[in-house]
Amino acid sequence: MKSYISRYYLLICAAGTVLLSGCSKFLDESDPSNFTIDQYYRTAEHAASGVNSIYASMREPTGSGFGGGAWMMTEFATGLADTDLGQAVNSYFVKDLINTPDNAYGRTYWVSYYRGIANANLAIEKIPAINMNEAEKKKLLGQARFLRAWYYFGLVRMFGHIPLILKPVSLNSPELKPNQAPVEEVYAAIDADLKEAEAAGLPWRDASGRVSLGAVKSLMAQVYLTMAGYPLQKGAAYYDLAAKKAEEVIDSKQFSLFPVYADLHNPSKKNIGENIFMMQFRTQIIPSSWQVAIIPYNKNISAYSDETGGIYANINFIRSFEPGDLRVKEKQFFYTNYTSESDRTKTVELGGYYIYKHFDEAAQLTTANSDLNWPVIRYADVLLTYAEAANETAGPGTKAYSAVKEIRDRAQLPELSGLSKEQFREAVWRERWFELCYENTTWFDMVRLRKAFNVGTRQFDEYVGHKFSYGPVVSARELLFPIPTQEILDNSNLKQNDGYK
């Protein structure tokens, strides 16, 4: 923590290097690093640029190459992903349940998310004193609070007891080596930030990719659903809160499922329709960089020079989908063949189920410069959050069935009916596993539920003791990721999570 703060505090938190897709200026601000903090945050333009900078850290874990990519960490932790990338040792450490605190994936998340938090803290402290339009000021602060909540929500679920820093930290601050906060205290701060963001006057939608009211309420539903489960186990009251927030999003009529799965990876569909909130990328400016990871290893199908085979679906997971599920058919969520880069009239069989829902067709065929955004919150997640939470509150009512029906209709599956509360609960869980796979969602579901999907039985095992289809058995230590070694070396107040050395 100390090394991170000393590097970044005096750089005005890289204000203006952020990516958002509203316009080129928003994507490609000039470097303001010659400013000092005393010179900055004086004008409305400074305020906007400072808030823009908070978004930038979201993108960092998606970077991919022959060393893998941090975004894969929570996918390999599910036991539902495979890789052909032998040199990406960090992937194997997680996949084979032999992870260590030296894993660079965890370090990437820790450093980038705390950088985002530092930027948010600075904006939240400095913007109130700026002489500018009060409504715009309130919206900017709402964005900053949402983003700080989002970063902390990721960190607390991955690492458990973490430092909770809500003010800018100087080199002389006692929080330069902060203590870890109780998990419940972190969630209280997340909740408080989201309530502030909810009251900030944000629009329901924002086609530029900035935080919207829809994103705020959707994240609140996710947070309350998690607080209802492990580790806090707040139960019925928080399931009710989650259901109500998700229902507000549904009842707003601002969002809808795309009619076809192809729209999920269509660059022209950024920030609209089903896409409530996304990480923003722009071809030729800041292109998305995970494409090389979802291409099979050296099959020569892509315009990209790198084809890493970094991550693809475990075949046993594919076989667990319900018969007739459209999502598992060719070039829906997955692809098993593609045309040859040297001759597009020829088809190459790939030997596995690669991830098509994140696949940029134009970039693979011609440009090698991807224009796709990464999905953070989809309307499909909101529907399933509502169905799960409403069922826990009052059993499977008409509206809960309707929410699941939307998901299953698109997958060309029959409507559910006549289920008990327990049967409906597991039916919704299965839909979450299938619909939200490989979107950095499933492992978080496993931990909050303490459940793991058994791909052989199609039932749910206890998370601790669950055996992956390829052999490893989950232990209690896999409820969290290890705090990175360098952070503990820099801050002697940090205690490592149980089971890691």
Determine the Cα–Cα distance for residues 102 and 107; give it in Å rounded to an integer.
8
pTM recorded for the entire structure: 0.93
17 vs 116 pLDDT, higher one: 116
Selection from 178, 195, 251, 177 nearest residue 403 by Cα: 251
Q: How many distinct structural domains can be found in the chain?
A: 1
Percent of the chain surpassing pLDDT 70: 92
369 part of a folded domain:
no
Q: What is the mean pLDDT of the chain?
A: 93
How confident is the model over 338-357, as a mean pLDDT?
Answer: 97
Q: Are strands 334-339 and 347-355 parallel, antiparallel or unpaired?
A: antiparallel
Q: Exposed, middle or buried: residue 345 (CB in 10 Å: 0-12, 13-18, 19+)?
A: exposed
Q: Which of 382, 375, 385 is nearest to 440 (CA)?
A: 375
Residue 1 pLDDT exceeds 80: no
Between 1 and 131, the more confident residue is: 131
- The answer to whether residue 51 scores a pLDDT higher than 70 is yes
Of 197, 189, 374, 192, give the one whose Cα is nearest residue 276: 374
- What are the pLDDT digits (tens) for 140-199? 999 999 999 999 999 999 999 999 999 999 888 877 899 999 999 999 999 999 999 999
Query: Range of 35's domain?
Result: 2-201+481-490
Answer yes or no: is 271 within a domain: no
d(CA 283, CA 297): 23
As a whole number of angstroms, the distance between CA 409 and CA 287 comes to 33
- What pLDDT does residue 35 have? 59
Whether pLDDT at 95 is above 60: yes
Q: For residue 88, tell me if it sits in a domain.
A: yes
The whole-number average pLDDT for the span 95-124 is 98
CATH of the domain at 172: 1.25.40.390
User: Worst-scoring range by mean pLDDT, 8-17, 47-56, 209-218?
Assistant: 8-17
The confidence score (pLDDT) of residue 483 equals 98
CB 400 within 8 A of CB 387: yes
For residue 429, is it within any domain? no
Percent of the chain surpassing pLDDT 90 = 90
Residue at 55 is within a domain: yes
Q: What is the pLDDT of residue 39?
A: 76
In this predicted structure, the answer to whether residue 11 has a pLDDT above a threshold of 50 is: no
Q: Is the pLDDT assigned to residue 23 strictly greater than 70?
A: no
Query: Are 163 and 1 a contacting pair, CB within 8 Å?
Result: yes
pLDDT of 13 reads 37
Q: What is the pLDDT of residue 176?
A: 85
Q: Which of 5-9, 66-70, 428-432 is least confident?
A: 5-9
> Residue 225 to residues 47, 244, 262, 379, 471: CA-CA distances in angstroms?
33, 11, 29, 16, 31
At residue 174, φ and ψ (nearest 5 deg) are -65, -20
Q: In this structure, is residue 286 part of a structural domain?
A: no
Instruction: For residues 272 and 258, give the distance between their C-alpha atoms in angstroms, rounded to a whole number.
Output: 10
If you average pLDDT over residues 396-419, what whole number do you get?
98
* Sequence-separated (6 or more) residues with CB below 8 Å from residue 364: 291, 295, 301, 302, 303, 304, 338
Does the pLDDT at position 357 exceed 90?
A: yes
Res 10 pLDDT > 70 = no
For residue range 436-494, list pLDDT tens digits in order. 999 999 999 999 999 999 999 999 999 999 999 999 999 999 999 999 999 999 999 99
Q: Is the pLDDT of residue 64 over 50?
A: yes
- In this model, does residue 31 exceed pLDDT 50? no
Pair of tokens at residue 133: 């339009």
Q: Is residue 54 part of a domain?
A: yes
pLDDT of residue 47: 96
- pLDDT per position as a tens digit, 289-320: 999 999 999 999 999 999 999 999 999 999 99
Distances 455 to 171, 352, 355, 381, 470 between C-alpha atoms, Å: 50, 17, 18, 21, 11
Confidence of residue 7 (pLDDT cuts 50, 70, 90): very low
Instruction: Determine the distance from the C-alpha atom of residue 258 to the mean position of all C-alpha atoms in its chain, rounded to a whole number.
Output: 20
Q: Evaluate whether residue 130 is within a structural domain.
A: yes
What is the total residue count of the chain? Answer: 501
Residue reference for tokens 């076809």 = 260
Q: What is the pLDDT of residue 16?
A: 35
Residue with more model confidence, 6 or 419: 419
> What pLDDT score does 157 carry?
98
Predicted confidence at residue 98, as pLDDT, reads 98
